[in-house]
Structure 1
């Protein structure tokens, strides 16, 4: 990649980062511990039943969305938003107060409808798999 291409990619990543922080903080999310110091878009939201964390990937136009229940159960999905950042963020904001351990699959279907390329891993060493609306 040329220096101009790298510069464009960095500019795009920086614009995405600002947009992620702007949209999520306006919806009640807080910066994650250390995110400001590390210059990262990493935010947390506490709903009644789940903790949600969104972190922007350092290299790709992708988010890491982690859901943690009160009993410690955890699931991370990877929305590869590409040109659909706003729709992806709107989907997350749309279900942030409705999501629970009982309905998270339905909420993830809403995410897939907004961002068709959402991946998940069941274990750290597994290959990421595409999440479908089915």
Structure 2
């Protein structure tokens, strides 16, 4: 019974994840809406896009894809970015840190500034008990 409830809850979480991404440049050019796996739409806040672009060098705008997917790791208070090396580089500019693991304080900062650009989910290690630290 518990397994079925967990499976349905996990399915809902995964269905709420983005089905598409846009580059920061595309978002600045006006593409502010993406589809989610469940068919719903998600809109980015234009002010958050502008703030993000002010923090990231121009040469990265076409390579950085949003939204950022943040994975909760098994260790308490630790998160990781699920994305390309360019996404990690961009987030390192935003956080002024090149650490691979994102702390709770950094997550709070990101959510305060960029709540429409961040999706947080559980990673495989959070569910399975594997403790891998990858990301930023």
Higher strand share: 1
Same fold (TM over 0.5): no
Higher relative contact order (CA 8 A, sep 6+): 2
Higher helix share: 2
